[in-house]
């Protein structure tokens, strides 16, 4: 469907040639000279695919730094691959550009792509560029590979399994509050503020945990919609109940400071989105080996709960009594 043109600027072919062709993988995408990309998979590997769409002012702020928007779009997809123990192979980029895009903006966006492509060995292999008049809209399809016998799904969580998380929970949800209304949280010092904001703006996909997941995890997913909300998804997929020990859930020092100094409910950390930590389950017999392996590899892993028969997600105090959430336990952000 032909379109009225916006202000005179680069056409699609020139835009691809100038900005995207330099980012692409030569063997899979032929300099982006074709509509299709190609991939050969080793015989013993299985392809893993994941797709995350990001919309301006829904998933990021339209005025965030362009390189950070680009890196976040790649990283949320890398995080999905990490949760499946997958080695990244490359990505397709669907780029919906708003009418007011500029070449300067696009150059900085592509710098972000380039820097993370290199950091994660994750080349561009194809895509599509369209007009998205009101809002920048990104659709990244990421590809990775796992050995054929290592398919780690949410739905394989089993009664008796222990539940683990990587890193700390809730930093990004608090970073989002700071991004929205910095002035409101003046009690927090600059270092804590910077740490939490950075966790929101630039997720750290937990790639280095993949070998441990491949070795021990019965089930895994990344935490992108809040710990307890994502736990509800795993519970539904596996048909089991997930019980979390509230006191065991690891919060960073910065998060603890912000909760106490600014009078914010701990629920915000447990139900807020965008952590991009990993949650996984493993059999109880693996526990000592997991902790030994984590220590050896300098991985930050905490046991936070366990799986039983039943359904739903339960947050327990130290006596095993169920805690209610002040926000009513509505974990879904759609």
Q: Which of 125, 141, 117 lies closest to 52, judged by CA? A: 141
Identify the residue among 216, 272, 281, 306 touching a copy of itself (CB under 8 A): 272
In the DSSP assignment, the letter for residue 249 is S
Q: Which of residues 48-77 bind a copy of itself (CB under 8 A)?
A: 48-55, 58-60
Q: Which is nearer to a copy of itself, 36 or 190 (CB)?
A: 36
Region binding a copy of itself by CB under 8 A among candidate stretches 110-118, 153-161, 255-263, 281-289? 153-161
Report, in Å, the least distance between residue 229 CB and a copy of itself: 10
CB-CB contact of 258 with 200 (8 Å): no
The residues, any chain, with a CB within 8 Å of residue 271's CB and separated by 6 or more, are: 173, 226, 227, 228, 229, 325, 327, 329, 331
Report, in Å, the least distance between residue 288 CB and a copy of itself: 28
Identify the residue among 22, 47, 103, 284 touching a copy of itself (CB under 8 A): 47
How far CA 193 is from CA of 70, 188, 200, 257, 327, in Å, comes to: 23, 6, 11, 10, 24
Per CB under 8 A, 34 contacts a copy of itself:
yes
Q: Which is nearer to a copy of itself, 298 or 334 (CB)?
A: 334
Q: Which of residues 111-140 bind a copy of itself (CB under 8 A)?
A: 125-135, 137, 139
Collapse the DSSP code of 12 into the 3-class scheme (helix H, G, I; strand E, B; otherwise coil) and give the result: helix
Report, in Å, the least distance between residue 172 CB and a copy of itself: 9
- Count of CB atoms within 10 A of residue 130's CB? 12
Region binding a copy of itself by CB under 8 A among candidate stretches 41-49, 188-196, 241-249, 297-305? 41-49
Identify the residue among 18, 21, 39, 248 touching a copy of itself (CB under 8 A): 39
CB-CB contact of 51 with 140 (8 Å): yes
Provide the β-strand partners of residue 55: 137
Q: Which is nearer to a copy of itself, 13 or 211 (CB)?
A: 13
Region binding a copy of itself by CB under 8 A among candidate stretches 26-34, 183-191, 202-210, 253-261? 26-34
Q: Which of residues 73-102 bind a copy of itself (CB under 8 A)?
A: 80-81, 83-84, 86, 92, 94, 96
CA distance 275 to 133: 30
Which of 223-236 are b and which e, b meaning 16 or more Cβ less than 10 Å from the residue's Cβ? bbbbbbbbbbbbbe
Q: Sketch the per residue contact string, 290 through 329, with a copy of itself: x for CB under 8 A, - otherwise.
A: ----------------------------------------
Q: Which of residues 155-214 bind a copy of itself (CB under 8 A)?
A: 155, 176
CB-CB contact of 252 with 198 (8 Å): no
């Amino acid at each position: 469907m032909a379109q009225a043109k916006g202000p005179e600027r680069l056409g699609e072919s020139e835009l691809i040639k100038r900005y995207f062709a330099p980012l692409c993988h030569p063997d899979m995408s032929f300099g982006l000279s074709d509509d299709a990309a190609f991939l050969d998979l080793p015989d013993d590997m299985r392809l893993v695919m994941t797709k995350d769409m990001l919309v301006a002012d829904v998933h990021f702020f339209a005025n965030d730094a362009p390189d950070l928007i680009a890196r976040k779009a790649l990283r949320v997809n890398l995080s999905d691959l990490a949760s499946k123990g997958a080695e990244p192979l490359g990505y397709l980029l669907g780029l919906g550009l708003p009418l007011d895009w500029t070449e300067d903006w696009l150059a900085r966006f592509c710098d972000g792509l380039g820097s993370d492509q290199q950091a994660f060995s994750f080349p561009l292999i194809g895509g599509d560029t369209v007009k998205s008049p009101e809002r920048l809209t990104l659709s990244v399809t990421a590809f990775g590979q796992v050995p054929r016998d290592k398919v780690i799904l949410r739905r394989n969580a089993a009664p008796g399994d222990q539940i683990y998380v990587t890193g700390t929970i809730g930093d990004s949800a608090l970073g989002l509050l700071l991004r929205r209304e910095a002035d409101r949280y003046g009690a927090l010092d600059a270092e804590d503020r910077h740490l939490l904001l950075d966790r929101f703006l630039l997720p750290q996909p937990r790639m280095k945990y993949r070998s441990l997941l491949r070795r021990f995890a019965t089930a895994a997913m990344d935490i992108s919609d809040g710990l307890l909300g994502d736990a509800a998804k795993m519970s539904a997929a596996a048909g089991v109940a997930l019980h979390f020990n509230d006191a065991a859930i690891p919060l960073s020092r910065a998060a603890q400071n912000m909760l106490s100094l600014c009078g914010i409910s701990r629920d915000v950390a447990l139900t807020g989105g965008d952590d991009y930590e990993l949650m996984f389950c493993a059999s109880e017999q693996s526990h000592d080996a997991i902790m030994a392996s984590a220590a050896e590899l300098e991985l930050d892993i905490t046991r936070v709960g366990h799986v039983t028969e039943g359904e739903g997600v339960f947050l327990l105090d130290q006596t095993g009594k169920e805690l209610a959430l002040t926000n009513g336990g509505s974990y879904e952000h759609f």
